[in-house]
C-alpha cells in the first residue's frame, strides 16, 4: 500500500503537491463531540507557514484552512473530517531548470527511479509543504488530548549547527518558545542561532540541527508490545518528517556509555503514588508509557536545495554543475517545531484510542 496514511484508529491520509492546487488531509476516527474551529487549526498552521520571518522560505502562502466535512455546529461528528488549504503562491516555472537534473542528496533521483516519472515542481510530494496536512490534523489531536486528558505537547529548537542550548526542558514553557523567530526558549542562544542561519542564507547554503520534543501528563499504559511500542511509533512519526535523519528518546545514545546501575530509573512512592525518580527511559518502559514525561530529540539535516555550485548528473547520466534557485528554507528547524508537535499528537491520540478500545 502507498505510504500516504498514518495511524490505526485515529488515521490520517494526506494528498496534494507543493505546486499543485491544494494540500489536504482526511482524518478518520476522530471521536465525536470535540469542539473545533478553523481558527483552532489555523493557529498551528501559522507557526508552520512559509514567509513568517527572514530566516524562513520567502514563499507567500497564508495556508488558510477550510473544514469541508466531519464538523457540524462547531463539533466533530465522528465521521471523516476533510481539511484543505489552497496553494496561492505557486511558481512552478522556478523549477524548470531542475526538470532534468538530480539535486544532490534530494529525492529527485529515487522518485524518478521508483515511479518512472516525477513532478519536478517544488519537489511535489517530497516537499515539506505536505506537512501542512500533518499539522492541520495534529491540531485537532492536540486539542482533544489537552481538553480531555490535560496532555501537553510542545517542542523547541535545541541546536542549530554547533550552537546548542543546555536549558532543562522542565523549565521550558510554550510562551518562551514563541518569543523569538527561531523557536529556541534560550534567548541568548536564540540570537546566536538566528545570526548563524542568516550567515548561512547569505552564503547560499543551508544548515541543520536538533529539535527537542516533550509530552507531559501522558497516562500510564499507552503503547502496544511488541511491534507497536509507543517509542517505535514516535520514532516512525518523526523519521517520516522531511529532512529527519535521527531520533532518540530519553537518554538516547548517551545511555550507551552508562552502566546499568547508573542508567536504571529508581521507583519511589510519593503521596501513595509510584513515581520514577530520574527518567532516563524518557517516559516509556517496555514500549508502554510509564506516566513520566516523554522527551526525545529529532535530528534534521541541512536542506539539500542550495544556491552553491555542486557537481551532479542529469537524467541522461551526463555530469553537470548545478546552482539551484527557488524559494527554500536555509534551515528547516523553526518551521519544523509545529510539525514535531503535530506528529506527537497524532501518535499519542491514536495510542490512547487503541488502549481505550482494548481496556475500556
Exposure letters 197-226 (e unless 16+ CB within 10 A, then b): beebbeeeebbbbbbbbbbbebeebbbbee
Q: What percent of the chain has pLDDT over 90?
A: 83
Q: What is the mean pLDDT of the chain?
A: 94
Query: Residue range 215-220: average pLDDT?
Result: 98
pLDDT given at position 147? 98
C-alpha 61/C-alpha 46 separation (Å) is 10
User: Within 57-186, where are the H helices?
Assistant: 108-115, 131-149, 174-177
Are 41 and 140 in contact by the 8 Å Cβ rule? The answer is yes
C-alpha 231/C-alpha 81 separation (Å) is 27
Number of domains in the chain: 1
C-alpha 81/C-alpha 69 separation (Å) is 5
pLDDT given at position 327? 77
Residue 157 — pLDDT band, cuts 50, 70, 90? very high
- Domain range for 293: 5-359
pLDDT given at position 195? 98
CATH number of the domain enclosing 205? 3.60.150.10
Taking 70 as the threshold, does the pLDDT of residue 1 lie above it? Answer: no
Query: Residue range 224-246: average pLDDT?
Result: 97
pLDDT given at position 79? 98
pTM for the structure as a whole:
0.96
C-alpha 242/C-alpha 131 separation (Å) is 8
Q: What is the pLDDT of residues 35-52, one digit of tens each?
A: 999 999 999 999 999 989
Taking 80 as the threshold, does the pLDDT of residue 338 lie above it? Answer: yes
pLDDT given at position 310? 93
pLDDT given at position 229? 98
Query: Residue range 290-309: average pLDDT?
Result: 95
Q: Distance between the two ends of the chain, CA-based, in angstroms?
A: 31
pLDDT given at position 200? 97
Short-list 133, 126, 270, 287, CA closest to 221: 287
pLDDT given at position 321? 95
Query: Residue range 332-345: average pLDDT?
Result: 98
Are 129 and 339 in contact by the 8 Å Cβ rule? The answer is no
C-alpha 139/C-alpha 40 separation (Å) is 7
Q: Who's near 327: CB < 8 A, 6+ residues apart?
A: 50, 57, 58, 59, 91, 94
Query: Residue range 177-193: average pLDDT?
Result: 98
Amino acid at each position: 500500500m502507498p505510504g500516504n496514511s498514518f495511524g490505526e484508529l485515529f488515521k490520517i491520509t494526506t494528498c496534494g503537491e507543493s505546486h499543485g492546487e491544494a494540500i489536504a488531509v482526511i482524518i478518520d476516527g476522530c471521536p465525536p463531540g470535540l469542539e473545533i474551529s478553523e481558527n483552532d487549526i489555523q493557529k498551528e498552521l501559522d507557526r508552520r507557514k512559509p514567509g513568517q520571518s527572514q530566516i524562513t522560505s520567502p514563499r507567500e502562502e497564508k495556508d488558510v484552512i477550510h473544514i469541508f466535512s466531519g464538523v457540524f455546529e462547531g463539533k466533530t461528528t465522528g465521521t471523516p473530517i476533510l481539511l484543505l488549504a489552497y496553494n496561492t503562491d505557486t511558481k512552478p516555472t522556478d523549477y524548470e531548470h531542475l526538470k532534468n537534473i538530480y539535486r544532490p542528496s534530494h529525492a529527485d533521483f529515487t522518485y524518478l527511479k521508483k515511479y518512472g516519472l516525477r513532478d519536478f515542481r517544488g519537489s511535489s510530494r517530497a516537499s515539506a509543504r505536505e506537512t501542512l496536512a500533518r499539522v492541520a490534523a495534529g491540531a485537532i489531536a492536540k486539542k482533544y488530548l489537552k481538553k480531555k486528558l490535560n496532555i501537553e505537547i510542545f517542542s523547541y529548537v535545541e541546536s542549530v549547527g554547533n550552537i546548542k542550548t543546555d536549558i532543562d526542558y522542565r523549565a521550558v514553557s510554550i510562551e518562551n518558545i514563541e518569543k523569538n523567530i527561531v523557536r529556541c526558549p534560550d534567548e541568548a542562544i536564540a540570537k546566536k542561532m538566528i545570526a548563524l542561519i542568516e550567515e548561512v542564507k547569505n552564503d547560499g547554503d543551508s544548515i541543520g540541527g536538533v529539535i527537542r520534543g516533550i509530552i507531559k501528563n501522558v497516562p500510564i499504559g499507552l503503547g502496544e508490545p511488541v511491534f507497536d511500542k509507543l517509542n517505535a511509533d514516535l520514532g516512525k512519526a518523526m523519521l517520516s518528517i522531511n529532512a529527519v535523519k535521527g531520533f532518540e528518546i530519553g537518554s538516547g545514545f548517551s545511555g550507551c556509555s552508562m552502566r546499568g546501575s547508573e542508567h536504571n530509573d529508581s521507583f519511589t512512592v510519593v503521596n501513595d503514588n509510584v513515581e520514577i525518580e530520574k527518567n532516563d527511559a524518557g517516559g516509556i518502559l517496555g514500549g508502554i508509557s510509564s506516566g513520566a514525561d516523554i522527551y526525545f530529540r529529532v535530528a534534521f539535516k541541512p536542506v539539500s536545495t542550495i544556491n552553491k555550485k555542486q557537481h551532479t548528473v542529469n537524467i541522461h547520466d551526463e555530469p553537470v554543475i548545478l546552482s539551484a534557485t527557488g524559494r527554500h528554507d536555509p534551515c528547516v528547524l523553526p518551521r519544523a517545531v509545529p510539525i514535531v508537535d503535530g506528529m506527537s499528537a497524532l501518535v499519542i491520540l491514536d495510542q490512547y484510542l487503541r488502549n481505550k478500545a482494548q481496556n475500556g
